[in-house]
């Protein structure tokens, strides 16, 4: 029987037989968790080699991710894609098996780049340059193939192992696109967004409103990736991002947007006085507002600083280590709506719950590390469910913390609370909270002290996000290396 089937339209070889014929998948373990769910360890039966398995819902966008990742794979600074399976998989929270793409990836055992830097005892500009050089090579590979990655952020640069000399590799092609000069998808992470992405949306919004008329779509290109590299380099050198808003927010605030659009950033003396002029020059050239004047990947790859950066010590690791304040910032952001939009141009930011910047750190799941043992929330749909379940609560929070609108309906908060109370997951707990304000189903808005109320609701959100609200029966042993397909089918609530 033919076991592999070339996907001719995308030149992507996708295996259609069960992955369990070839791999033991450690379903109950996690190497990390992203928006598409946990990435798990797996072992090739034939050789005993270890890999990482990323499971994504099989839709055209996922096939594109797999295709572009595979195209770039084969370079020493790109996480290698070994195999791709199209299988129906049923996770505990699925009512029935769902078509999924299972990507068998090179196992990266060294964790994320900024976690590594936070542990460096002596982090120098030279080391930063060494890391940068590898990131540059990975992006060069993509750009050589005319692929824009579009989601370059520290979390997507993984280390091969825990040695000093470990290679850094680029992963996660979820937003990558062939650069046809028409990169318009509104997906990006606030601190890494290039000005022309914002410009493109502003332009589109104006087109939609009929303010300007043009048939030609406004475009931006691979220079967005260069911008992101500039932001990453800036953070590596000083520990904080170049563009930020005075008010913590999950949104790009108008202030932050203005700064990005005008390329307004500084090198505060205290933190930058010892950093070399060459490094600052690179940052300036990468963060240039005009993409035409921005450094290209070739310019950067051949820049002397990558090879002759001075050995000056940097203070960024200490800042990266302050997880508490990072977590506070993340929570402050997370309390705003997941799907909040930019007021005038309707740009949707990737929710922080799904994609965070290094400053907020990746704490979206307290159980994201497989050795932390909490396995009761597993699988992509579970993540989506959590977001949906939390939405009514986040609506309440947003309503309470945003300034009241002039024409605000007096029953708006009542309606939001009533809606949230219908939720199976949070309704009962919310009801308890509202009792403190003598909730009687109406006139709540006038009675309630919004700030106190929002504090309680935030605590509820926090408790729901830090302990899983999934009711899966996924309590199997985490040592599933010896699982056969058969006993997996019985001992684990997955079918494949």
Cα distances (angstroms) measured from residue 130 to each of 34, 80, 309, 313: 27, 21, 9, 14
Given a contact cutoff of 8 angstroms between Cβ atoms, the answer to whether 449 and 433 are in contact is no
Q: Which is nearer to ligand ATP, 112 or 125 (CB)?
A: 112
- Shortest distance, CB of residue 218 to ligand ATP, whole angstroms? 25
The C-alpha atoms of residue 332 and residue 161 are separated, in whole angstroms, by 33
- Shortest distance, CB of residue 116 to ligand ATP, whole angstroms? 12
Which of the residues 22, 83, 151, 172 is marked catalytic? 151
Give which of 117, 125, 130, 101 is closest to 37, Cα–Cα: 101
The C-alpha atoms of residue 108 and residue 277 are separated, in whole angstroms, by 34
- Shortest distance, CB of residue 52 to ligand ATP, whole angstroms? 3
The C-alpha atoms of residue 347 and residue 252 are separated, in whole angstroms, by 9
Cα distances (angstroms) measured from residue 242 to each of 191, 239, 305, 405, 460: 8, 10, 20, 32, 33
Q: Which is nearer to ligand ATP, 125 or 375 (CB)?
A: 375
Q: Which is nearer to ligand ATP, 175 or 439 (CB)?
A: 175
- Shortest distance, CB of residue 487 to ligand ATP, whole angstroms? 25
Q: Which parts of 37-178 are beta strand (E)? A: 37-44, 50-57, 81-89, 98-106, 147-148, 157-159, 168-170, 177-178
Residue 303 CB-half CA count within 13 A = 25
Q: Which is nearer to ligand ATP, 152 or 460 (CB)?
A: 152
Q: Which is nearer to ligand ATP, 108 or 347 (CB)?
A: 108
Q: Which is nearer to ligand ATP, 93 or 125 (CB)?
A: 93
Residue 404 CB-half CA count within 13 A = 12
The C-alpha atoms of residue 447 and residue 414 are separated, in whole angstroms, by 11
Given a contact cutoff of 8 angstroms between Cβ atoms, the answer to whether 385 and 422 are in contact is no
- Shortest distance, CB of residue 41 to ligand ATP, whole angstroms? 8
Would you call 151 a catalytic residue per the annotation? yes
- Shortest distance, CB of residue 29 to ligand ATP, whole angstroms? 11
> Is 356 in a helix, a strand, or coil?
coil
Rama region for 20: left / alpha / beta (φ>0; ψ in -120 to 50; rest): alpha
Q: Which parts of 76-190 are beta strand (E)? A: 81-89, 98-106, 147-148, 157-159, 168-170, 177-178
Given a contact cutoff of 8 angstroms between Cβ atoms, the answer to whether 427 and 421 are in contact is yes
Measured from the Cβ of residue 240, the count of other Cβ atoms closer than 10 Å reads 16
The residue at minimum Cβ distance from ligand ATP is 34
- Shortest distance, CB of residue 175 to ligand ATP, whole angstroms? 8
Kindly state the helix (H) or strand (E) to which residue 27 belongs, with its residue range.
Answer: none
Which residues of this protein are in contact with ligand ATP, per CB under 6 A?
Answer: 31-36, 39, 52, 54, 79, 105-108, 112, 155-156, 158, 171-172, 174, 354-355
Q: Which is nearer to ligand ATP, 28 or 434 (CB)?
A: 28
Give me the active site residues, please: 151
């Amino acid at each position: 029987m033919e076991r592999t089937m070339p996907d001719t339209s995308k030149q992507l070889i996708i295996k259609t037989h069960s992955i369990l014929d070839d791999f033991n998948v450690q379903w109950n373990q996690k190497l990390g968790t992203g928006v598409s769910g946990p990435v798990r360890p797996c072992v090739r039966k034939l050789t005993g080699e270890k890999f990482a398995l990323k499971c994504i819902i099989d839709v055209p966008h996922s096939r594109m991710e797999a295709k572009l990742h595979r195209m770039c794979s084969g370079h020493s600074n790109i996480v290698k894609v070994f195999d791709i399976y199209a299988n129906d998989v049923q996770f505990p929270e699925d009512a029935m098996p769902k078509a999924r793409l299972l990507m068998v990836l090179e196992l990266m055992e060294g964790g994320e780049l900024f976690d590594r830097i936070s542990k460096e005892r002596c982090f120098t500009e030279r080391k930063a340059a060494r890391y940068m050089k590898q990131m540059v090579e990975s992006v060069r590979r993509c750009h050589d193939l005319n692929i824009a990655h579009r989601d370059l952020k520290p979390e997507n640069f993984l280390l091969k192992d825990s040695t000093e000399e470990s290679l850094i590799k680029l992963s996660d092609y979820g937003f990558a696109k062939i650069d046809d000069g028409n990169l318009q998808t509104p997906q990006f992470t606030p601190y890494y967004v290039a000005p022309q992405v914002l410009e493109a949306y502003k332009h589109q919004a104006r087109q939609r409103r009929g303010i300007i008329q043009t048939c030609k779509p406004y475009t931006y290109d691979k220079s967005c990736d260069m911008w992101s590299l500039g932001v990453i380099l800036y953070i590596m050198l000083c520990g904080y991002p170049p563009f930020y808003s005075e008010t913590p927010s999950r949104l790009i605030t108008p202030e932050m947007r203005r700064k990005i659009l005008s390329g307004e950033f500084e090198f505060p003396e205290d933190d930058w006085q010892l950093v070399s002029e060459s490094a600052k020059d690179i940052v300036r050239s990468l963060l240039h507002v005009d993409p035409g004047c921005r450094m290209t990947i070739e310019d950067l790859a051949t820049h002397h600083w990558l090879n002759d950066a001075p050995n000056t010590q940097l203070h960024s690791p200490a800042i990266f280590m302050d997880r508490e304040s990072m977590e506070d910032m993340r929570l402050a952001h997370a309390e705003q709506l997941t799907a909040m939009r930019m007021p005038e141009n309707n740009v949707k930011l990737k929710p922080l719950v799904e994609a965070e910047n290094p400053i907020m750190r990746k704490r979206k799941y307290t159980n994201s590390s497989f050795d932390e043992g909490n396995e009761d929330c597993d699988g992509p749909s579970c993540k989506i469910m959590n977001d949906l379940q939390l939405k009514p609560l986040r609506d309440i929070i947003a309503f309470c913390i945003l300034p009241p609108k002039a024409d605000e309906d007096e029953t708006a908060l009542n309606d939001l609370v009533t809606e949230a109370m219908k939720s199976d997951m949070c309704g009962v707990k919310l009801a308890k909270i509202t009792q403190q304000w003598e909730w009687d189903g109406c006139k709540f808005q006038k009675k309630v002290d919004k700030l106190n109320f929002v504090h309680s609701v935030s605590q509820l959100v926090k408790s729901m996000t830090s302990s899983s609200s999934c009711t899966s029966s996924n309590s199997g042993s985490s040592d599933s290396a010896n699982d056969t397909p058969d006993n997996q089918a019985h001992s684990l609530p997955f079918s494949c």
